[in-house]
Structure 1
Amino acid sequence: MKAHLYTDWRDIPDAARGTVAALGNFDGVHLGHAHLLRTLQAARPEGELAVVTFEPHPRELFRPQDPPFRLTLPDERFSALVALGVRRVFQIPFTPEFSAMSAEEFVTGVLHAGLGVQHVACGADFAFGHRRRGDVAFLAQEAHDLGIGLTVVPALCDTAGPYSSTRIRRLLQEGYPERAAEELGRAWSIRGVVEHGDKRGRLLGFPTANIALGRHLEPARGVYAVSVRMGDGRVCPGVANIGRRPTINDGQVSRLEVHLLDFDGDLYGQTLSVALHTLLREERRFDGLDALRAQIARDTQAARDYLLATGGA
């Protein structure tokens, strides 16, 4: 069955009403989120599985001065949710006007009248409404009065505590994409459109596809073994650099540059999803382009060896 995305909660078709829906931001769509969805599906197996989420993330609205922190932007989040069996994603625009909505209006106006959900699930710390004044106890009472079922799901934990997006962000920033993948249930990916760069990679003998990090979290700077999923579904092995290219004094903006192994073609304008598998080395400055070229050759071989050994691509 095809999955559907809805971005206007005021205009939901009748066919999309009556779902059982998990509530939350779902940044990263990690194992804790998968646990929430599985628990909801087990509680209401007859229901069509849905998610109610928000875009942008509330933190982006309230703290725009913060550095980018997102693990998944809408397209990647939607794909990850669909892979977990979600068939309808209600992506509510989180605007200043919406943020001023009371907790009661959210339950009665959005969940009940707007989306027509029959059952919802959330974590015990879920908060909503203006100034987060709605909590699980309030949701339970309002949902009961409206005939909406509720499942409150305890957090999924390991020896380090609850699985969380915050924990995964820290692992990526510290240079441990393998450990982040264990908590996500898949390799972490950056999805974006290939832009024109300065063609310096081509001059060095290693042409690269350049993708802006944009609102994505910036992981540890350095060189990674990656796999690249293209728009047609093909997956290619690759080696990527994330950083500011100190050898050529590239400035203050970090970028993702990925060289696809054994690939020859035009990628400009295409949307790629670049999955990080391991950090091969940290970013550093080299004494000239010849030294940089030699290191890129070593990095490329290291990425090839790693991906062949692990089946990463």
Structure 2
Amino acid sequence: PQPLEYFLGDNAPSRLMRLREKVISCQQLPVDHLLVVKFNRCFANYDAERFIDELLIQRLNVKHLVVGDDFHFGKARRGNFALLKEHGQRHGFTVEDTGSYMLDGLRISSTAIRDALGVGDLAAAEIMLGQRYSVCGRVSHGDQRGRTIGYPTANIQLFRKNTPVNGVFAVTMTGLDGNEYPGIANVGTRPTFAGSSKAVLETHLFDFDKDIYGHYVEVHFVKKIRDEQRFASLEALTAQIHKDVQAAKLFL
């Protein structure tokens, strides 16, 4: 887990990217090695000096380190850029900070992106990300209720309670055959059907009738249509989905 997920559990801020998505993104960059350290009780108790001595110097033999300008590490977040510089001078490695990237006076950060996504401002999130916000995952079998009402969905389990986005969106899907397919997606816990403890991404593709179970796909979020809501009946839900589809097509 990420540090805040370890300490706060389901109350931690939502992830913008899952680990596999980060790995895939790194594969598109000139990165030779990616080290993933499991954050557990033992690692959480590393003080800043031990983090530097054991991980950076002894295990990685670091020569040059690049960190964010607000980077903190070690137990109680006591380690910072100044401490890294101090140890670098002592042990022969250099340290560089990336500096803050500002856009119209706003510091670009995961918090700012998460805030934009949380209020449905996908355009602002896209500007900060440099691309549309997207979610990747493998299409799995669901309860197939959508198929019974004329709106079959490709379901992606998100395995988390909190997500950066929630509601109904105009989307596109890639990862199937080189084409980009338009559709509509719901991200949430499906309250009309008693709900679930973890969020699910359900995507209905327009004019599409292929078996894509097991495919690893990417869903790109284009425009938020509405918040997720609970309906009194299946008929009411079906009528609203029809309206949502018509609204989504205006943006695709």
TM value normalised by structure 2: 0.87
User: Distance between the aligned counterparts of 1:277 and 1:250, measured in 2?
Assistant: 28
Q: Tell me if structure 1 keeps the 8 A contact 2:88–2:95.
A: yes
Cα pair distance change 1:83/1:217, threshold 3 Å: farther
- Give the 3-state SS of the residue equivalent to 2:140 in structure 1: coil
What's the CA shift string for 1:94-127, capped at 9, x where partnerless? 1211121222222222122212332111123211
Q: Tell me if structure 1 keeps the 8 A contact 2:116–2:125.
A: yes
Structure 1, unmatched stretches of 5+, are 1-55, 308-313
Q: Tell me if structure 1 keeps the 8 A contact 2:4–2:13.
A: no
- Give the 3-state SS of the residue equivalent to 2:34 in structure 1: strand
Partner residue of 2:195 out of 251, 271, 278:
251
User: Distance between the aligned counterparts of 1:184 and 1:284, measured in 2?
Assistant: 28
Cα pair distance change 1:161/1:68, threshold 3 Å: closer
Q: Counterpart of 2:66 in structure 1: which amino acid? A: A
Partner residue of 1:273 out of 210, 218, 236:
218
In structure 2, the partner of 1:237 is: 182
| Per-residue deviation, 1:140 | 0.5
User: Distance between the aligned counterparts of 1:212 and 1:170, measured in 2?
Assistant: 23
In structure 1, the partner of 2:68 is: 123
- Give the 3-state SS of the residue equivalent to 1:89 in structure 2: coil
| Per-residue deviation, 1:232 | 5.8
Comparing 269-278 with 195-204, which one deviates more in the overlay?
269-278
Q: What is the correspondence of 1:60-99 to structure 2 with a 5 Å cutoff?
A: 60-66=5-11, 69-99=14-44
- Give the 3-state SS of the residue equivalent to 2:243 in structure 1: helix
- Give the 3-state SS of the residue equivalent to 2:88 in structure 1: helix
- Give the 3-state SS of the residue equivalent to 1:223 in structure 2: strand
- Give the 3-state SS of the residue equivalent to 2:56 in structure 1: helix
Cα pair distance change 1:135/1:287, threshold 3 Å: closer
TM value normalised by structure 1: 0.72
What's the CA shift string for 1:116-139, capped at 9, x where partnerless? 332111123211122222121110
Cα pair distance change 1:61/1:302, threshold 3 Å: same
Cα pair distance change 1:260/1:216, threshold 3 Å: farther
Q: What is the correspondence of 1:79-228 to structure 2 with a 5 Å cutoff?
A: 79-215=24-160, 217-228=162-173
Cα pair distance change 1:63/1:162, threshold 3 Å: same
Cα pair distance change 1:148/1:231, threshold 3 Å: farther
Q: Tell me if structure 2 keeps the 8 A contact 1:127–1:134.
A: yes
Partner residue of 1:283 out of 228, 236, 241:
228
Structure 2, unmatched stretches of 5+, are none
Q: Tell me if structure 1 keeps the 8 A contact 2:167–2:188.
A: yes
Quote the sequence identity (%): 39
| Per-residue deviation, 1:269 | 3.0
User: Distance between the aligned counterparts of 2:37 and 2:178, measured in 1?
Assistant: 28
User: Aligned residues, how many?
Assistant: 251
| Per-residue deviation, 1:214 | 2.0
Q: Counterpart of 1:236 in structure 2: which amino acid? A: Y
Comparing 113-122 with 297-306, which one deviates more in the overlay?
297-306
User: Distance between the aligned counterparts of 1:226 and 1:58, measured in 2?
Assistant: 31
Cα pair distance change 1:225/1:65, threshold 3 Å: closer
User: Distance between the aligned counterparts of 1:244 and 1:91, measured in 2?
Assistant: 30
- Give the 3-state SS of the residue equivalent to 1:170 in structure 2: helix
Cα pair distance change 1:220/1:154, threshold 3 Å: closer
User: Distance between the aligned counterparts of 2:161 and 2:85, measured in 1?
Assistant: 34
| Per-residue deviation, 1:165 | 0.7
Q: Counterpart of 1:250 in structure 2: which amino acid? A: A
| Per-residue deviation, 1:147 | 1.6
Cα pair distance change 1:186/1:159, threshold 3 Å: same
